[in-house]
Amino acid sequence: MRHAAHGRPDASPPTTVCRGGDPPLDCRTLSASERPELPPNRLAREKSPYLLQHRHNPVDWYPWGEEAFARAHAEDKPIFLSIGYSTCHWCHVMERESFEDPEVARFLNAHFVSIKVDREERPDVDQIYMTFVQATTGNGGWPLSVFLTPDLQPFFGGTYFPPRGRGGRAGFLDVLAQLHRLWQTRRADLVESATLIREQLRQALQTAPAATDLPGPDVLDHAVARFKAEYDPVHGGFGGAPKFPRPVLPSFLLRRAAQTGDREAQRMVLHTCDRMAAGGIYDQLGGGFARYSVDAQWRVPHFEKMLYDNAQLARLYLDAWRVSGQTRYAEVVRGILDYVLRDMTLPEGGFCSAEDADSEGKEGRFYCWTRAELAALLPPEQFAVATRYFGVTEAGNFIDHSDPDPLPGQSVLHVADPDLTPAEADLLRRAKATLLAARTRRVRPLRDDKVLTSWNGLMLGALAAAGAALGEPAYLAAAERALAFVQNHLWDPAAGALYHRWREGERDSTQLLDDHAFLLAGVLDLYEATLDPRHLDFALRLAEVLRARFHDPEHGGFWQAPPQAGDLILRVKESYDGAEPSGNSVAALSLLRLAEMTGHDHYRALADGTLRLFAERLRRLPEALPALLAALDFRRAERVRVVIAGAEDPAGRAALLAAAHRVFAPNAVILGNQPPADPFASTLPARDGRATAYVCVGTTCRAPVQDPTELAATLRGE
């Protein structure tokens, strides 16, 4: 499925009206002033931008919750569950085709209880019903359309349905009518089937018994071989079109290459980074990456930008710079992070979730250019260089085939001809500045401004690491502000509770593993970047909440939601590192790091239990868990602790800290010599009043170092 979105934060998606035909002919999009607006439904009280986009539908929507469940029981009606998110293109297609259709709405309102869920607000709900749809249809994606008993057990599902049957595809009205007949005439069969399906789901989501031992290094070697076999030697990346960056996979290869000296794996990752950065998936004017590329060349993206993608890609390119020393990778890091600070950061310091693919009802309208537009904006010399460099042609390279009236001649900017003379490079620099300034005057895509704790943890960690390595104080300051935002708005210190979503002054009541694991990882990054003991204190508090709320002491690993989440028919342990890493994978690596920093071995034991729980999956299907493979690599490696002492010499300590961060040493941790760091660190003092670094394996440390260059050389093994 292709995912995008459109509209503005205060507007429902545009309505398309068509004249006759099948498929319809002569379609046009109504403006907001032409479109009749119905009274708001219950979703108007919600905070999710996705739910708010549906607040004027004629469908009698409920948010996920007891009110809807009680009505389904009281009226003995099945539930229609629709799951999507604010930057999902086909979600909005189904909205304007079906959920704004009075006939569809009347049937739904009469015979079903309709519930709308934002998958980004409730990924735990989404995972259960997505697993059902994938298992029963062989496909998945959004919009997710699932029919449930009043007890929330699924019995039929799919993704996008056209409103009426066409091209051999069942229409949504036909599906509704058939399910209503079955509910009336064969309800016992449906309920029995749903009960059976629930048990099958439980078994499908159940993890195999934990292994008695940790997976060995052969598992890591096998994974590397499997990943290499998926590599595209021409265009980079792993797998074919559509191409998703999926940073956890190249990140694992890069860290494994550092362990084994595998130059081929390193070359694959760097080539992939080069090709992605040259493609249209990377915003050549404003920085940041789009969600994915529809082609194998990374040229034409699906244009929405997600916070979690950009956080992980910033880390990948930072590591590519550390490994290679090539400044082009550092420039991409700056491009990503400057975009986030400019366009995705709230005044209070939290980071927004996403930006849409569409604006003015057209996918890519904000990002694409025609040759005529460039000619009107640029002097002839700049125009000649820019059109050649970016591959802008009269015909263009992008057509939105889902649009009945696509814009003509649209070009996605990509690096088509990088060979420029110094004079041409200067012309290009000026042309890019002009185009970016012109683009800021366009109608921007919708920004989903909800703040998710999990994704903010990823981004503040990326900012902290980049700020320390690149010497950018603004990035470190942004990371500090983001953590303060989460602590002030989403963390309840008295209850020890961390919540999932904040928007417009209100937080939700959902607590999820991903929030705790991702924020823990980000806080550890910020501690390593600053050596501020308060951050390590907070990391310890988070780790304890994570253990108490989510750990399974009987079988190991971590549940996605705490046991009191009574609106879930199943408890799930996430075991797939996809666009986002799983909470189990991030928790395992974070707890291992925390154990090295503090000397608290019980955190290592928690991580070991997770690695043993998923040992068989790591052996059989390494593609599923690259981030957990990274945790295994850390666990099995000779781990290094870099202790930097000398708070009384802040300039010297900062220089040593920067040197340590510039080296790619994925199995090292950096800590200060002040509590709550491991007590052994307090025995390593600064010398002669100057900041001093100690590189230690176990409790054995090399000779103290005070020169940043010497420290970097020691970490590189020179």
Q: What is the pLDDT of residues 638-668, one digit of tens each?
A: 999 999 999 899 999 999 999 999 999 999 9
More confident residue, 31 or 247: 247
* Residue 400 included in any domain: yes
pLDDT of residue 38: 79
Contact 337, 466 (CB under 8 A): yes
Contact 72, 78 (CB under 8 A): yes
Q: For residue 366, report the phi and psi dihedrals to the nearest 5 degrees.
A: -70, -30
Residue 12 — very low, low, confident or very high, per pLDDT cuts 50/70/90? very low
Residues 348 and 381 in one domain: no
Residues 420 and 453 in one domain: no
Cβ neighbours for 382, distance < 8 A, ≥ 6 positions apart:
427, 428, 430, 431, 434
What's the number of domains the chain is made of?
Answer: 4
How far is it, in rounded angstroms, from Cα 179 to Cα 157? 11
Final residue of a domain: which of 390, 412, 441?
Answer: 441
Cis omega (within 30 of 0) on the bond before 63? no
The residue behind tokens 């999932």 is 500
Q: Is the pLDDT of residue 703 over 70?
A: yes
CATH number at 502 reads 1.50.10.10
Q: What is the pLDDT of residues 384-417, one digit of tens each?
A: 999 999 999 999 999 987 777 899 999 999 999 9
Residues 139 and 127 in one domain: yes
Contact 528, 666 (CB under 8 A): no
E strands present in 318-418: 354-355, 358-359, 362-363
Pairing of strands 61-63, 113-118: parallel
Q: What is the pLDDT of residues 427-453, one digit of tens each?
A: 999 999 999 999 999 999 999 999 999
pLDDT of residue 698: 80
Residues 74 and 157 in one domain: yes
* Residue 4 included in any domain: no
Q: Is the pLDDT of residue 8 over 50?
A: no
Q: Is the pLDDT of residue 88 over 80?
A: yes
In this prediction, what percent of the chain has a pLDDT beyond 90?
86
Q: Which two tokens stand for residue 578?
A: 């996809």
How far is it, in rounded angstroms, from Cα 657 to Cα 705? 12
How far is it, in rounded angstroms, from Cα 263 to Cα 205? 38
Strand partners, 113: 79
How far is it, in rounded angstroms, from Cα 273 to Cα 250? 9
Final residue of a domain: which of 600, 620, 636?
Answer: 636
Residues 596 and 664 in one domain: no
The residue behind tokens 């690596």 is 589
Cis omega (within 30 of 0) on the bond before 143? yes
Q: Is the pLDDT of residue 620 over 80?
A: yes
Q: What is the pLDDT of residues 92-136, one digit of tens each?
A: 889 989 999 999 999 999 999 999 999 999 999 999 999 999 999
Instruction: Name the amino acid, one letter, at 645.
Output: A
* Residue 172 included in any domain: yes
Q: Residue 39 is part of which domain span?
A: 15-205
Distance, first Cα to last Cα, the chain: 49
pLDDT of residue 565: 75
* Residue 2 included in any domain: no
Q: Is the pLDDT of residue 10 over 50?
A: no
Residues 465 and 429 in one domain: no
* Residue 523 included in any domain: yes
Residues 525 and 653 in one domain: no
Residues 199 and 321 in one domain: no
Q: What is the pLDDT of residues 24-61, one digit of tens each?
A: 333 333 433 444 577 899 999 999 999 999 999 999 99
CATH number at 128 reads 3.40.30.10
Residues 45 and 110 in one domain: yes
* Residue 657 included in any domain: yes
How far is it, in rounded angstroms, from Cα 666 to Cα 639? 9
Residues in the chain: 718
Contact 511, 501 (CB under 8 A): no
Instruction: Name the amino acid, one letter, at 467.
Output: G
Instruction: Name the amino acid, one letter, at 123.
Output: P
Among 11-15, 361-365, 492-496, 711-715, the minimum mean pLDDT is found in 11-15
Q: What is the pLDDT of residues 663-692, one digit of tens each?
A: 999 999 999 999 999 999 999 999 999 999
How far is it, in rounded angstroms, from Cα 601 to Cα 287? 41
Residues 285 and 305 in one domain: yes
Range 179-194 average pLDDT: 94
In this prediction, what percent of the chain has a pLDDT beyond 70?
95
SS3 570: coil
> Which strand (E) or helix (H) includes residue 306?
strand 305-306
How far is it, in rounded angstroms, from Cα 261 to Cα 92? 48
Helices (H) and strands (E) in the chain, counts: 25, 23
pLDDT of residue 2: 32
Contact 304, 3 (CB under 8 A): yes
Residues 222 and 284 in one domain: yes
Residues 467 and 572 in one domain: yes
Q: For residue 418, report the phi and psi dihedrals to the nearest 5 degrees.
A: -80, -10
How far is it, in rounded angstroms, from Cα 174 to Cα 717? 67
Residue 203 — very low, low, confident or very high, per pLDDT cuts 50/70/90? confident
Contact 651, 241 (CB under 8 A): no
Q: Is the pLDDT of residue 554 over 80?
A: yes
Average pLDDT, the chain: 92
Among 296-310, 340-354, 378-392, 394-408, the minimum mean pLDDT is found in 394-408
Range 327-356 average pLDDT: 97
* Residue 320 included in any domain: yes
Contact 452, 501 (CB under 8 A): yes
How far is it, in rounded angstroms, from Cα 391 to Cα 401? 21
* Residue 56 included in any domain: yes
